[in-house]
């Protein structure tokens, strides 16, 4: 059983199976400590429970981060991206026209620009 805190740097190198196994071990140890606490264990158990909870959170964070990284690689050149992988931004920014849509000019507007171009005026400078 592990009594020391788990460092996140150690977890990044592990594969998914090792992380899952470690997670199960940590959860079983946490369950044992909680039963000992109810049975009337020492106060040192409380700090161990805290450390175990944080270690479980670290393992889950690494699992989720690697999973999201794999999904980003999978959806790299696909047409659509899952909503949770898209940039959050703001609602207005997400609904804004794209650069391509902004540059489009309608047929009517093209004719109007062709037949009535912007007038050019020469201004005489007095010296």
pTM: 0.70
Answer for the pair 62, 19: CB distance below 8 angstroms, yes or no. yes
The DSSP code for 125 is: P
Residues contacting 16, CB < 8 A, separation 6+:
63, 66
Residue 1 clears pLDDT 60, i.e. is over it: no
Average pLDDT (14-33) is 94
Going by pLDDT thresholds of 50, 70 and 90, the confidence category of residue 124 is confident
- pLDDT tens digits, one per residue of 42-62: 777 778 899 999 999 999 999
User: Which H or E run contains 44?
Assistant: helix 44-74
SS3 readout for 71-97: HHHHCCCCCCCCHHHCCCCCHHHHHCC
- pLDDT tens digits, one per residue of 75-96: 999 999 999 999 999 999 999 9
């Amino acid at each position: 059983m592990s009594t020391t805190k788990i460092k996140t740097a150690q977890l990044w190198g592990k594969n998914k199976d090792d992380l899952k196994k470690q997670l199960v071990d940590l959860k079983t140890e946490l369950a044992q400590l909680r039963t000992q606490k109810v049975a009337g264990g020492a106060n040192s158990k409380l700090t161990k429970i805290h450390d175990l909870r944080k270690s479980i959170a670290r393992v889950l964070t690494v699992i989720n981060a690697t999973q999201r990284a794999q999904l980003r690689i999978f959806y790299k050149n696909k047409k659509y991206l899952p909503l949770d992988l898209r940039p959050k931004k703001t609602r207005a920014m997400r609904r804004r026209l794209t650069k391509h849509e902004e540059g489009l000019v309608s047929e009517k507007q093209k004719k109007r620009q062709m037949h009535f171009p912007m007038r050019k005026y020469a201004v005489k400078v007095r010296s």
